[in-house]
Amino acid sequence: MEKKMKAIVIHGYGDSNVLTQEQVDIPELKPDEVLIKVHYTSVNPVDWKMRSGLLKDHMPLKFPAILGIDVAGTIEKTGSDSKKFKVGDKVFCRADVSNGGSYSEYVAVNEDNVAHAPESISLKETAALPVTAGTAWSSLFDTANLNSGQKVLITGASGGVGIMAVQFAKKAGAYVICTTSKPNIELLKSLGADEVIDYTEGDFSLKVSNVDVVLDTVGGETLQKAHTVLKKGGILVAIAGQPDISLAEKHGIKATRLSVQTDGKKLGEIARAIDEGKLKVVIYKEFPLERIAEAHDLSESRKAVGKIVVTVSE
């Protein structure tokens, strides 16, 4: 096996021009790790937030750094103590950027964080899942305990997290209300949304009330307004900003900020849910790894409908 691989490396914080392609060493395997050949990755907003230095206080990077969290690929090699996978298995997981991210041909990941890929979708589609589906699942079920018959509002529902959240919530039997802009309304209805509110046409929080759960993926003013639409005892899960605790107390709701890590066991559950529910992945645009800077710029525009997927090696 070659000792070097192509990777996108950054040597400091900055705009998308800091992303440069280099030849670097293939990661060494620890006994409990597997080496995964990365076929596809995807861009998440956290990638450009890390790159630009926005998150440097609580997620500092050690340079040179390889970004990228989502991994869809095949097992290339197993560590001496790893037992769960065999060479050639199709898998997906989150890469740990401090150990080398997925904008590279190979990643080494602890086998407990890896799961077999869903069978009903392609590996390319699978690359859209680890961060978004893990976050949607953890927010709705592990944190908010969403149940059948409950009413949920998902803001920013046409984004990567939102599209998975709409489908998970619907599959769980919830009544699903979403916010997005006009061009995406039909897509969200086709994925199971019961009501879709165009946030560009007035204040969404005046059009929805008495919900059991809010998943806010937008932050800022949207998050602030989301505190007002819940019934007493309801729960607001915020993934893109800090909820206002005094406002939450005033409205008699629980509000929590979530930072999600998803292990292999949870990804396995998600893969089963995708296969059983015939859930869909929406790919907005594809790029080869060499054009990762354009993929970052597009994600940073906050206009992607679904996921931006990046081909590393087919």
Using the rule CB under 6 A, which residue among 250, 265, 278, 302 binds ligand NAP? 302
3-state secondary structure of 214: strand
Question: Smallest distance from the beta carbon of 238 to ligand NAP, in angstroms?
Answer: 8
Q: How far is the CB of 77 from ligand NAP (least distance, A)?
A: 29
Q: Identify whether the C-beta of residue 150 lies closer than 8 Å to the C-beta of residue 213.
A: yes
**Residues between 55 and 114 that touch ligand NAP (CB under 6 A):** none
Q: How far apart are CA 109 and CA 77, in angstroms?
A: 11
Assigned token pair, 266: 């949870």
Q: What track of x and - describes contact with ligand NAP for positions 249 through 268 (by CB under 6 A)?
A: ---------xxx--------
Instruction: Identify the residue among 146, 236, 305, 312 touching ligand NAP (CB under 6 A).
Output: 305
Q: Which is nearer to ligand NAP, 100 or 134 (CB)?
A: 134
Measured in whole angstroms, the distance separating CA 35 from the mean position of its chain's CA atoms is 22
Judged by CB under 6 A, how many residues of this single chain contact ligand NAP? 31
Residues near 200 by Cβ (< 8 Å), separated by ≥ 6?
181, 182
CB of 83 to ligand NAP, least distance (A): 29
Q: Is 236:248 a contact under the CB 8 Å cutoff?
A: yes
Report whether 231 contacts 211 (CB < 8 A).
yes
From 12-20, 150-158, 186-194, 243-251, span contacting ligand NAP (CB under 6 A): 150-158
Cβ at position 157, least distance to ligand NAP in Å: 7
In angstroms, give the least distance from the CB of 175 to ligand NAP.
Answer: 19
Which segments of the chain are extended strands (E)?
A: 4-9, 20-25, 33-43, 70-78, 90-94, 106-110, 114-116, 151-155, 175-180, 195-198, 211-216, 230-238, 254-257, 283-288, 307-311
Our finding on whether 42 is near ligand NAP (CB under 6 A) is no
Between 60 and 220, whose beta carbon lies closer to ligand NAP? 220
Beta bridge partners of 254: 235
What does the alpha-carbon distance between residue 178 and residue 180 come to, in Å, rounded to a whole number? Answer: 7
Site for ligand NAP in 171-230 (CB under 6 A): 179-181, 184, 199, 217-218, 222
Please select the residue that binds ligand NAP; options are 27, 130, 162, 243, rule is CB under 6 A.
162
Binding region for ligand NAP (CB under 6 A): 44-46, 131-132, 135, 155-156, 158-162, 179-181, 184, 199, 217-218, 222, 239-240, 258-260, 299, 302-305
